[in-house]
Amino acid sequence: MVNGIERPLDLLNSSKGKEVLVQLKGDKQFVGTLIAFDIHPNLVLDNAKEMQDGEIKKNIGLTFLRGDVIVFISPASTALK
């Protein structure tokens, strides 16, 4: 997946429609399908689930996440294997 990543947002672009793991400040994590992003990057996730210690804590469904609270975003295929 590294091929074609010239700028950081290219990774988000190639992750559209796929499951991502999003780490927030203060230890919350979300897993969900990346639907949209912008430069902050604010995200829209579908089928979002709040995770804690690798377990699903809450189903959130469709959600808008503010970029300001994000630490990292990883394709779930590499982060959750």
Amino acid at 17: G
- Enumerate binding residues for a copy of itself (CB under 8 A): 1-2, 5-12, 21, 24-26, 28, 30, 35-38, 41-44, 46, 48, 59-75, 77-79, 81
Q: Nearest approach, Cβ of 55 to a copy of itself (angstroms)?
A: 15
Task: Tell me the residue type at 12.
Answer: L
Determine the Cα–Cα distance for residues 7 and 10; give it in Å rounded to an integer.
Answer: 6
Nearer to a copy of itself, 21 or 31 (CB): 21
> How near is the Cβ of 22 to a copy of itself at its closest, in Å?
9
Rounded to whole angstroms, the Cα distance separating 20 from 4 reads 19
